[in-house]
Chain A
C-alpha cells in the first residue's frame, strides 16, 4: 500500500537556524508511527509540516489527497475566558460523532460525569482525555497526536493506547505520535523514528534491544537501553 505521508529530504529553517535537516520517512497506512527526540529536536515542526501549518524550506512532503487529518496539539493552553462545558467542547471537536468506538471514547473521557462541567474546572488529564476523545470521535484517516499522554495517569495511558489500537484495527486509522514516553512507545508503535534535527534512526521498536544503530540513536537523543525494551531517560 502506498504511504499516507512521505517526507523526501525535507529541511526547515527558522531564520538562520536549521531545525529540521534533510529528513526522509514514510507513514504507512494502518500503522502507529512514533517520533521521539529531545526537546527542540523538530518533532512538533514535522507534525505541523504534515498538517500544512509550516512550509518546508527544502525537500518535498507528499500527503495523500482528500484525507481527513485530526490533530491534538501538545500545548492545551486553553488560556481564554469563554464559558464552555465539556459537552460543547466535544460538539466542536467532533460535530458528527460517528463510528462504533464513540461509546468507548465517551467512557474513556468520563464524559457522562463531566458533560456539564466548565472546561476551566477540569484537570489537565481530564481535558487531555476530552481533546483526544473528541479528535478520535471525528473519525480522521490520519491522526497526529503530540505528546498525547503527558497529563494522563498510568491506567489512563494504557486505556488510551488500547483504544487507539482498537480504532486503528477497525477503521484503518493511521497514527502519527510524538512522545517522550519510550517504554509506551516501544510497546505500542509499529515504527519508531528517532530524530535530533536529522533522522538518527528509523525502525521497528523491537530492534531497540538488538540493533546497535538504534541504541546509538536513542543514546544521541538522550536515552539509553540496557536490556529488552527497558529504556530510561538519562
Chain B
C-alpha cells in the first residue's frame, strides 16, 4: 500500500515538473546531437546525478538499497543482445514519436489526442 501511495505522489510531482519544463530524455539526446543544444540534455545528466547521490546516500544511512552497486549484471549474451536491440529500436522510434515514454504520458494528459492513441 505504501509503495502505491509513494508512486502516486512521485508521479504527481514529476508530472507537474515535467509538464512545466518539457523534460524528455530522447529529445535531450536528439537536440544535443543535431543542434548542440544542451538545454534538455541536462535532464539526463541531472537524472543520473540525482539517482547516484540518492542511492549512495540512502545506502549509507540505512535505506533499503540492495545489491548496490549492480556492477557486471550481464547474466547471459541473450540478455545483452535483447538489451542492445531493444534500446536501439526504442531510441530510433522515439525520435519519430517526438519523445520518450515519459513525455508521451505528459503530452497525453495535457493536450494531444494522438498521444493517447500512441500510449
Do these two chains interact? no
